[in-house]
Amino acid sequence: MQKGVRKKIEDIKHVFFDLDRTLWDFEKNSETVIEQLLKDYDIEKDYQTTAANFIKKYRKINHKLWHLYSHKKITKDELRSTRFSRTLEKLGAKNDKLGTLLERDYIAKSPYQTKLLEGANEILDYLKPKYELHILSNGFKEVQHIKLHESGIKKHFNNIFISEEMGFQKPDKQIFHAAQTKAGVKPEHCIMIGDDFGNDIEGALNAGWKAVYLTSRKKRIKHTDMYQIKNLLELKELL
């Protein structure tokens, strides 16, 4: 085998993709909506802040809340009702009413954004004739289906598995088992592709699947059933 050429992963029949930050560009789409909301509500002026500063604080808070939600320590309503209010509080003024308005408008607009990660359409076109493709996402059902439809990629997937509809969340191996059962496939024929090491990669490996970790980190994690890529088009070397 030539140096730098990866060996193809064998025995895979079903490819499961995470959605946010794996195919759908969550950061860019979220940023677009938040920047518009800040203008709509004059937040930069009223709070003496910049869009970049607001988004930085929001992302940190949102990440922490999603971590708590994925470990069943807070509810969906608690996540949604506090992330913008907490961001405003970090900027110096508590305003739950404005936080509620921001959340309402954000949920109404963000799933209709259509930016995908580089190479997403190309890799889906490449994989579709060779494998059955599925979505396995921890997102909320009322927005994930819209994202898939509006971005034009829903047509590629045989099944769309959303944690809220499945009753389990990644990394719980029960959601992986439920997905493989519904897809009618054995774990040794499944591979998970995602950007979250805990939820996507460790969850899949614990369920007996193989996994591909999409990450910008340079240090490679060694595991016989785990592979690491920096961009989606590297999947052509593996699958």
Catalytic residue annotation = 18, 20
136: nearest Cα among 111, 107, 106, 158: 158
Instruction: Please list the residues that pair with 215 across neighbouring strands.
Output: none
What does the alpha-carbon distance between residue 203 and residue 168 come to, in Å, rounded to a whole number?
12
What does the alpha-carbon distance between residue 136 and residue 118 come to, in Å, rounded to a whole number?
20
Which residues contact residue 93 at a Cβ distance below 8 angstroms, ignoring those fewer than 6 apart? Answer: 47
What does the alpha-carbon distance between residue 174 and residue 155 come to, in Å, rounded to a whole number?
26
70: nearest Cα among 143, 160, 137: 137
222: nearest Cα among 209, 233, 213: 213
Please check whether residue 136 is in contact with residue 157, taking contact to mean a CB–CB distance below 8 angstroms.
no
Q: Distances in Å between the alpha carbon of 50 and those of 55, 95, 104?
A: 9, 18, 21
